Chains A and B, each alone.
Chain A
Amino acid sequence: MAHFELICPAGTPAALRAAVDAGADAVYCGFRDATNARNFPGLNFSVREMAEGIAYAHGRGRKLFIAINTYPTAGNPGPWHQAVDQAASLGADAVILADYGLLDYAARRHPRLKLHLSVQASAANADAVTLYRDVFGVRRVVLPRVLTVPDIARLTAETGVETEVFVFGGLCPMAEGRCSLSSYATGQSPNRQGVCSPASHVRYEPRGTTLVSRLGDFTINRFEDGEPAGYPTLCKGRFVARGQASYLFEEPTSLNAIALLPELKAAGVRALKIEGRQRGKAYIAAVVGAYRQALDSFDRTGRAEVPQLAPTLADVIEGRRDTTGAYTRGWR
C-alpha cells in the first residue's frame, strides 16, 4: 500500500522552504488576495513568489497545491478565474477549489489541471463526493472535520476518490464552508473574505483584575489575572447556556490525530493534512518535522509512536491541549 502523503501549509516563501526541508510531500499555498481562505495581512504569495515556490518544491521532488477556496464574489469572478488560470500556467500540481461555478470553470478551461475539493466545500458523504468526481473530475477530496474514521473508510471505499484528512492544527467544530458565525459578529466570513474571527475586529479590554476578549460587539472570553489570554475565535469562546458558562462549542484545543495513523491507513486515506498557513516557519518546521518522523516510523513499524513526539508538538499546539475531534466517536 502507498505511503501517506504529507500535505503541509505555507503562508510565506520562508514557510514553504521550511515545510519542504522538513519533509513535506506537498505544500499548499494561496495567492495574496481574497481567493483563498487564509486571507490574512502579510500572508500568501505573489505570482512570482508562487513560481519560485513551485520551482523549489519541484526541484526537490515535492508537489505544490494552490488553494483558491473562497466563494467568488457575485458580479466579480475575475480574480478567481485569473487565479485558476495562473495556477495552470505556473504548473501547480493541483488547485484546491470549493465553489461549483469555479470548479466548472476550471474543468472546462483547464482539463489537464488536477482538481482537489477543498474542505470548504464540506463534502461529507459519498453521494456528494460522487457528484464532484463525476461532474468535475475531482481527483481528491479534503474531508470536513465532522466525520468519524468509519465514515471516512466507507466514503473512501465507495467513491474511489483519494481522500485527504486533517491530522494537526486548528479544528473547526462546525462543518467548514457552512458557517457564518464570524460574519454574524464581524461582517467578515471564511466564504466571502477568506477570514474567520479577523484580528481587525478583535479587542482585549482590561476590566478590574480580568481581561476580556471581544470580537466585534461581543465578549468571547474572560481571563483572570495571570491566565494566558487566548485568541477570540468565536467557536472557541466561553458562553453561558442554561445558567452555566462553558466552552459550549469547542475548547481552545488543537486537532492531533497522530495516534490514529493505523486506523486512517486502514480506512484507505491517501493524504494527511496539517492546518496552519497563518503560522510562522519555526512552527511549520517543528510540526512537519515531527509528522515526517512519525510517518517514517509508522512505515517501518506499522505503529503510531506518539509519546516520543509529544513534547515537540506540545510546545506549539493551541491551548497546549489536543483532541482527536470527530474522528473517534466522542462527538456522538
Chain B
Amino acid sequence: MTATMNDAQLTLGPLLFNWPLAAWHDFYARIADEAPVDSVHLGEIVCSKRAPFFADHLPDVIERLTAAGKRVLLSTPILVTTDKERAAVRELLSMDGVAFEANDTGALLHLAGRPHAVGPYVNVYNEGTLAWLAGRGATSVTLPAELPEASIRAIAAAAAPLGVAVEVQVFGRIPLAISARCYHARSHGLYKDGCQFVCGQDADGLPVDTLDGEPFLAVNGLQTLSRRYLSLADRLDGLRSLGVSRFRLSPHAVDMVEVARLFRAVLDGALSGADADARVAERVGEAGITNGFLLDRPGADWVGAAHP
C-alpha cells in the first residue's frame, strides 16, 4: 500500500434519520471516542420539523467531537422552501467555530467568499461547475451519488489545481430523491403538518417493496433512499487513483464504529476491500449492497470484485 493511500480521509456524513435524542447523543459520543473518522457532519438536513429537538444539544456534541480531534461541519438542509426554513439556515450559518457544508443554492448565496464544503445535494456534474464553485470559496465537494467513474475522474482532475478536495460516499443507503411531500406521513394516512413524527419509527428508513415483494427503496420522511447499501470498500484504491481523497460513510443503525474501522483498515492496507464489502454485506443482511452507479450501471446493481 502506498503512502498516499494513508492521506485518505474518512468522513461521517450527516445522520439522515429521526433517532431519539438519547440514541443520537450516545451515537456521537461513541463516534467521538472510538470511530477512526476525520470529519463528522451534523445538522438535520431532511426535515425542518425535526431540527428543534436537537438544536439545543448541538454545541455539546460539537465540543465533544472537536475535543476528540474530529473536524466538525454543519450541513444545511436539502430542500428549503418556507421563510421559516430560510431563517433557520441563516441562523445555522451564523454559528462560530465550525465549518459548513452547503446542500442547496440558497446556502451557497450565504457562504460566498468564505471557505466552505459543497454537499452531495448540490449538482456538481462537471468541471465547469466545479471551477465556478471553487471561485466562490468551495474547498471540497462531495459528488452526487449517480456519477460514474469517468465523471469523477474528470472532475477530480479539475479540482486538484484549484485546491478543492473531492469526496464520494462509499457506505450507506443512497439518497435518491427529496420532495415537499412526506411519504412517511402518507404511508400512515397522515399529512406532513400532522405527521406525529412517524419517521421516528424507522431508524434506517421505511422499507418499500415492489408488488412482487422485492426490496426496492426506503422512505425517510421527505427523502427517498435506496434499499441497498452502497459499499465501495473494494473500489477505494480505484477512487484514490482517480483523485478522490475523502470517503463518506452515511450513518445507519448498524455498528458504525465497526464500519469506520473496516474502511480505515482497507485504506491502511490492513484488510482487502473485498473482505470489507463482504463484512458490510453480512451486517446489512437481506437489503444487500450495491456499487452500480460508480460503474455506470443501474444504481441498484452489484458488480463483483474489482480485484478478483
A: which residues have CB within 8 A of B?
Answer: 71-75, 77, 98-102, 104-105, 121, 123-128, 130-132, 146-147, 151, 154, 173-175, 177-181, 183-187, 189, 191-192, 212, 216-222, 235, 238-242, 244-246, 248-250, 326, 330-332
Which B62-85 residues have C-beta < 8 A from chain A? Answer: 78-83, 85
The answer to whether B128 and A184 have CB atoms under 8 Å apart is no
The answer to whether A222 and B146 have CB atoms under 8 Å apart is no
The answer to whether B123 and A146 have CB atoms under 8 Å apart is no
Asked whether any CB of chain A lies closer than 8 Å to the CB of B210, the reply is yes
Residue of A nearest to B195 (CB): A332
Residues of B contacting A189 with CB < 8 Å? 146
Given contacts A174-B177, A189-B146, A241-B208, contact A146 B79 (CB under 8 A): yes
Q: What is the distance, in angstroms, from B191's C-beta to the closest C-beta of chain A?
A: 6
Given contacts A75-B154, A131-B105, A131-B106, contact A99 B213 (CB under 8 A): no
- Docked Cα-Cα span, A173 to B224, in Å, equals 11
Q: What is the distance, in angstroms, from A180's C-beta to the closest C-beta of chain B?
A: 4
Tell me which of B175, B179, B192 has the highest count of chain A C-beta atoms within 10 A of its own C-beta: B179
- Mask, B98-138, CB within 8 Å of A = 1, is 00000011111110100000000101011111111100000
Supply 6 A–B pairs (Cβ within 8 Å), ascending by A: A100-B133, A127-B110, A184-B298, A189-B146, A191-B146, A249-B181
The answer to whether A73 and B151 have CB atoms under 8 Å apart is yes
Residues of A contacting B300 with CB < 8 Å? 184-185, 216-218
* Contact among B85, B121, B129, B186 for A248, CB-based, below 8 A: B186
Tell me which of A173, A178, A235 has the highest count of chain B C-beta atoms within 10 A of its own C-beta: A178
The answer to whether B211 and A179 have CB atoms under 8 Å apart is no
The answer to whether B123 and A245 have CB atoms under 8 Å apart is no
- Docked Cα-Cα span, A72 to B154, in Å, equals 12
A123-B105, A174-B178, A242-B188 are known contacts; what are 14 more A-B pairs with Cβ within 8 Å?
Answer: A73-B126, A74-B147, A74-B150, A75-B153, A100-B132, A125-B86, A127-B89, A146-B179, A179-B176, A185-B300, A186-B298, A241-B187, A241-B209, A332-B193
* Contact among A241, A242, A331 for B180, CB-based, below 8 A: A331
The answer to whether B177 and A124 have CB atoms under 8 Å apart is no
- Docked Cα-Cα span, A121 to B125, in Å, equals 12
- Docked Cα-Cα span, A218 to B216, in Å, equals 8
- Mask, B213-245, CB within 8 Å of A = 1, is 110110100001010000000000000000000
- Docked Cα-Cα span, A130 to B129, in Å, equals 18
Given contacts A128-B105, A183-B298, A192-B146, contact A245 B211 (CB under 8 A): yes
* Contact among A73, A105, A187 for B125, CB-based, below 8 A: A73
Q: What is the distance, in angstroms, from A299's C-beta to the closest C-beta of chain B?
A: 30
Residues of A contacting B81 with CB < 8 Å? 124-125, 146-147, 151
| 3 A-B pairs with least C-beta separation | A101-B128, A127-B106, A75-B154
Q: What is the distance, in angstroms, from A108's C-beta to the closest C-beta of chain B?
A: 11
Asked whether any CB of chain A lies closer than 8 Å to the CB of B174, the reply is yes
Asked whether any CB of chain A lies closer than 8 Å to the CB of B292, the reply is yes
Asked whether any CB of chain A lies closer than 8 Å to the CB of B13, the reply is no
Which B160-190 residues have C-beta < 8 A from chain A? Answer: 174-181, 183, 186-188
Residues of B contacting A184 with CB < 8 Å? 146, 174, 176, 226, 293, 298-300
The answer to whether B146 and A77 have CB atoms under 8 Å apart is no
The answer to whether B187 and A180 have CB atoms under 8 Å apart is no
Tell me which of B153, B213, B297, B298 has the highest count of chain A C-beta atoms within 10 A of its own C-beta: B298
* Contact among A77, A147, A242, A249 for B224, CB-based, below 8 A: A249
Residues of B contacting A75 with CB < 8 Å? 126-127, 150-151, 153-154
Asked whether any CB of chain A lies closer than 8 Å to the CB of B61, the reply is no
The answer to whether B183 and A249 have CB atoms under 8 Å apart is yes
The answer to whether A72 and B128 have CB atoms under 8 Å apart is yes
Tell me which of A124, A132, A248 has the highest count of chain B C-beta atoms within 10 A of its own C-beta: A124
Tell me which of B112, B146, B174, B192 has the highest count of chain A C-beta atoms within 10 A of its own C-beta: B146
